[in-house]
Structure 1
Amino acid sequence: MEVLFIALIIGLIPAFIARSKGRSFLPWYIYGVALFIVALVHSLVISKSAAKIKYDFEEQGYSECPFCKEYVKPGATVCPHCQRDIK
């Protein structure tokens, strides 16, 4: 019974790490309870989701280049990726 309780508690660790990277909490919690060591390593090495990356850039004031769709610093007049003028 104690092992189950410990598994339910430590399963939160990979779930919170994955959630901070924009992943769903519940599937990662179940994964963490079932296979803690594997889930922990996996949650540490996964990259942020595309939606989380976009949200982070927009929070910092970056905008998307209309030509190459890369993120550009606020106030930039030329895209550093495609070298085209930005309005």
Structure 2
Amino acid sequence: MIVIVLLLWVVAFFVAAWIGYKKGRQPLGIVLGLFLGWVGVLIMALVGPTSEAARAEALRQGFPCPYCQEVVRHGATVCPHCQRDLPPTPAVKRV
């Protein structure tokens, strides 16, 4: 019984750390997973990302090309799909 509880606690620790890493809050995820277990996982799931992580995600997702509607990274001057010149990129909303 104790082995199962410890195994579930270790799994909760890694899940909380992974969620924290994805949201740019890895130290918080490690601490919450270590001390609170699955409650820490729930808290990490509800906590928002850091502003740097949100900006990086917005930059990674890009915007649709106005001509072919394929996703293009911010800062691109030519669409890699249809090879047409792009208008200036829309500003990324800072969080």
**Count of aligned pairs between the two proteins:** 69
**In structure 2, what is the Cα distance between the partners aligned to 1:33 and 1:77?**
43
1:75 equivalent in structure 2: 87
**In structure 1, what is the Cα distance between the partners aligned to 2:90 and 2:9?**
52
* TM-score using structure 2 length: 0.53
Identity %: 16
Return 5+ residue gaps in structure 2 as ranges. 63-72, 76-85
2:15 equivalent in structure 1: 13
List per-residue Cα deviations over 1:29-83 (Å, max 9, x = no partner).
23213211321111111111111111122222346xxxxxxxxxx735887x9xx
Aligned: 1:45 with 2:57: no
**In structure 2, what is the Cα distance between the partners aligned to 1:78 and 1:17?**
29
Classify 1:38/1:75 alpha carbon distance in 2 versus 1 (closer, same or farther; 3 Å).
farther
Q: Aligned AA for 1:75? A: P
**In structure 2, what is the Cα distance between the partners aligned to 1:46 and 1:11?**
16
Q: How does 1:54-69 map to 2 (within 5 A)?
A: 54-59=55-60, 60=62, 61-62=73-74
Q: Aligned AA for 1:6? A: L
Return 5+ residue gaps in structure 1 as ranges. 64-73, 82-87
Q: Does the CA contact (< 8 Å) of 2:20 and 2:29 recur in 1?
A: yes
**In structure 1, what is the Cα distance between the partners aligned to 2:89 and 2:40?**
44
* TM-score using structure 1 length: 0.57
